[in-house]
Every structure is written in C-alpha cells, then in structure tokens.
C-alpha cells in the first residue's frame, strides 16, 4: 500500500458555542486546514490543523509536506515524519511546520487504523473504552455573572460532571473580584462538580500565587488552575506549583516533545496538557504521554475532542478530555457523551467522516 494522492482544504469554521450558546462574538469564524491522504488501495485518512490567521500559509505548508508523502508506505509513520523533517531543513519544533506535520501524522494513523480494521484508541494501547470529559469554552471571562450562571446551568442539564471557567478577568480586577467571579460558578454547580479554571498565561508568577491562595482560602475547590503564567517560564511555573495546593495544569502552548522534558524536569506542572497540533500529531502526543507517565503525571488534551479522546483513552495516565467542540461541525457524526464520559468509537481509525456539505460551506 502506498500513498497515492492528497487534498488540503482551507476552511473558515463558524466559531459558535454549541454547548451553552454563549459565543464570544456572533458570526466569527475560526480558520483551519483539513487534509485527506488517499492510498492506492482506496483507503482515505483525514487530519485537521488550526491556529491563527495564517491559513493560506498553513494550507501551503500542508500541501508541500503532503506531496512528499506520495509514494510512501503509510504504515511507516516514523519514516515519513523523518523524511518531512529532513526535507524542511529540520524545521521545528514550533511553527507552521509542526502544525502542518500534525495533520499529516494524524491522517497516517487514521489510514493505519482503517488498514488494520481497528479504532485508533485500540492501536495506541486501548486502556479503556470510555473516558471522562469536561465542558470547555462556554464559561468565558467576558460573560456577565448572569450569563455565566445560565451557561453553567445549561452544562449541568446536558449531563456534564466536569467544566472549565476562566479567571484573569478583563480590567485588571482585584484578587477578591477574581475569587468572587469563580464562586459565582461554584455556587451554581454545587460542590461535587469538578471545576477547572484557565488563566491563558495572563498572570505573573507572583500574581498566580497570590490569587491562587485567595481562591484556596475561599474554599472554591478547583480541580486545577491552567496556564497561570508564560508557558516557557518553567521556573516561574514551578514556583506557583510548589506554592499552591491546587494542581497546576499546563502544556497546551508547548511545541514538540523536547520542551515537555524541560517542563516536567523543572516540576512546572502537576497535570500535563498536550495540544495535538502544536505537539506535531498523534505520534508525538503519545511520546509526551509516555514521558509524563514516567514521572507519575497525568495527561489531558486540548481542543479537538473528536480526535483526542483516542489518545487520552489509550494511555493509563490519561485523565480527562477537553470537550471544546470547535471542529465537530466538520463531521457526519462525532463520539457521544454518556454520564459525563465520551464513548470511544468502534469504527476503524479515527472513526470520523467529513460532512461534505459542511466542508463545501466552510471553504475559505
């Protein structure tokens, strides 16, 4: 079996909020690139990559790298990754190359699963067939208290047992105001729901320690604080992690596998979050998961739950899947949620099929 052809498609996907109908801006779209890799045996693998407004540049990079895979054996994924790196001047670990590589690597794993008639999560280890998931993207920092309460109530009604909100509110609020807002969510959802909180790198380490202590003293009970300061300030993150009882999560902004070694060795985080596009695809995602396991650390995913549930479910240290449904509209059907858990698909590969009407509608 050889790779025979490919198609890369630039997209503008509607940036709505299907979970609680609290979009940040009505009518806004999110750029992405979808990839189809086709083999001479009729198998098609798919991948998706995204981030930023450089869609034309990313689209061109996916096309140029995908062209290098034609004629290659799709089952030899590491060999293809090595070829792509060598032909790109050993680019990486960050930037457009890694984003493009991610789509190709993911499509190759989709082909492999289909060729072997196995779902991806089984190929990667098959640790469990259901995995916890948490609602993300609805409890945003820009909402009013009333909107945040309504969104939280909607998520509860939909059966979510885990959800994420945000601090680092607009306007440089006091620590007391930060705590008050997160308590607004906790008061609605009750004490038994796991509540995470994302800072999106907006605090300095000393701010994170100060506000984190206030949150702990208020008894909010956060499951984790995420990306509390600049992602590559491994020492600053380690200061926060050592100072707080609340677990610190981070890693979504980290590119490739080597920086994760630095982050883990510096004891920067308690929970390792791995982004599929920035790490470079399924192959690299699982390598970071294995590295984290060696340090007795759990791993969690970032966006694209329809793909990443496979990886989180495959490894024994997978903790939970971020359910941020940015791209679910691209597919005919996506994994179901039962009692707060994603059910792993039984179809081979990713178990996903592009919705042709949606692809046509979202073309950039």
pLDDT score at 214: 97
| Average pLDDT value over all residues in the chain | 96
pLDDT tops 90 at residue 172: no
Q: Which residues pair with 46 in a beta bridge?
A: 36
Average pLDDT of 99-120?
A: 98
Q: Which residues pair with 59 in a beta bridge?
A: none
For 301-343, what is each residue's pLDDT tens digit?
999 999 999 999 999 999 999 999 999 999 999 999 999 999 9
Residues 6+ apart with CB under 8 A from 343: 129, 130, 335, 336, 337
C-alpha–C-alpha distance, residues 71 and 74, integer Å: 9
C-alpha–C-alpha distance, residues 205 and 233, integer Å: 9
Long-range contacts of 257-263 (CB under 8 A, 24+ apart): 257/93, 257/284, 257/287, 257/288, 257/291, 258/93, 259/93, 259/232, 260/288, 260/291, 260/292, 261/291, 262/234, 263/234, 263/237
Average pLDDT of 4-30?
A: 91
pLDDT score at 304: 97
pLDDT score at 252: 97
pLDDT score at 106: 98
pTM of the model: 0.96
% of the chain surpassing 70 pLDDT: 100
* 162 band by pLDDT with thresholds 50, 70 and 90: very high
Burial of 15 (0-12, 13-18, 19+ CB in 10 A): middle
pLDDT tops 90 at residue 226: yes
pLDDT tops 90 at residue 54: no
pLDDT tops 80 at residue 281: yes
pLDDT tops 90 at residue 52: no
- 111-130: burial string, b at 16+ Cβ within 10 Å, e else: bbbbbeebbbbbbbbbebeb
Closest CA to 267 of 297, 290, 246: 297
Closest CA to 299 of 284, 315, 310: 315
User: Which residue would you say has higher pLDDT here, 172 or 313?
Assistant: 313
C-alpha–C-alpha distance, residues 190 and 193, integer Å: 6
pLDDT tops 90 at residue 41: yes
**Lowest model confidence (mean pLDDT) among 15-19, 147-151, 283-287:** 15-19
- 303-342: burial string, b at 16+ Cβ within 10 Å, e else: bbbbbbbbbbbbbebbbbbbbbbbbbbbbeebbebeebbb
For 173-188, what is each residue's pLDDT tens digit?
999 999 999 999 999 9
pLDDT score at 339: 94
pLDDT tops 80 at residue 20: yes
Closest CA to 183 of 173, 191, 174, 171: 191
pLDDT score at 23: 80
H or E segment to which residue 44 belongs: strand 44-50
* Residue reference for tokens 């949150």: 215
Closest CA to 85 of 285, 281, 232, 272: 281
The answer to whether the beta carbons of residues 196 and 163 sit under 8 Å apart is: yes
Average pLDDT of 202-219?
A: 97
pLDDT tops 90 at residue 269: yes
Under DSSP, the state recorded for 328 is: G
Average pLDDT of 26-49?
A: 96
The answer to whether the beta carbons of residues 116 and 348 sit under 8 Å apart is: yes
Distances (CA, A) of 148 to 69, 162, 172, 184, 291: 47, 15, 19, 8, 37
């Amino acid at each position: 079996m050889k790779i025979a052809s490919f198609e890369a498609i630039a997209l503008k996907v509607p940036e709505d909020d299907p979970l609680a109908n609290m979009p940040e801006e009505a009518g806004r779209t999110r750029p992405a690139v979808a990839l189809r890799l086709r083999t001479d045996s009729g198998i098609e693998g798919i991948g998706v990559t995204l981030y930023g407004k450089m869609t034309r540049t990313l689209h061109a990079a996916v096309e140029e790298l995908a062209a290098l895979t034609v004629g290659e054996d799709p089952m030899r994924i590491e060999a293809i990754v090595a070829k792509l790196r060598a032909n790109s001047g050993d680019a990486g670990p960050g930037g457009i190359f890694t984003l493009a590589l991610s789509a190709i690597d993911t499509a190759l794993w989709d082909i492999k699963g289909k060729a072997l008639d196995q779902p991806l999560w089984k190929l990667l280890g098959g640790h469990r067939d259901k995995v916890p998931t948490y609602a993300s993207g609805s409890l945003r920092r820009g909402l009013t208290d009333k909107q945040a309460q309504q969104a939280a109530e909607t998520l509860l009604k939909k059966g979510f047992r885990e959800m994420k909100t945000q601090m680092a509110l607009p306007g440089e609020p006091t620590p007391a105001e930060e705590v008050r807002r997160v308590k607004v969510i906790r008061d609605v959802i009750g004490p038994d729901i796991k509540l995470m909180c994302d800072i999106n790198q907006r605090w300095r380490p000393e701010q994170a320690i100060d506000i984190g202590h206030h949150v702990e003293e208020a008894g909010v009970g956060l499951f984790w604080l995420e990306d509390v300061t600049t992602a590559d300030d491994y020492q600053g993150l380690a200061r926060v992690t050592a100072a707080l009882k609340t677990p610190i999560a981070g890693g979504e902004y980290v590119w490739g596998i080597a920086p994760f070694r630095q982050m883990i060795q510096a004891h920067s985080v308690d929970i390792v979050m791995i982004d599929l596009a920035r790490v470079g695809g399924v192959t690299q995602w699982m390598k970071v998961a294995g590295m984290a396991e060696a340090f007795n650390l759990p791993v969690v995913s970032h966006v694209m739950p329809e793909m990443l549930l496979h990886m989180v479910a495959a490894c024994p240290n997978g903790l939970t899947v971020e359910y941020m449904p940015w791209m679910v509209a691209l597919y005919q059907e996506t994994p179901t949620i039962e009692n707060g858990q994603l059910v792993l698909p039984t179809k081979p590969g990713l178990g996903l099929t592009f919705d042709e009407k949606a692809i046509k509608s979202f073309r950039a």
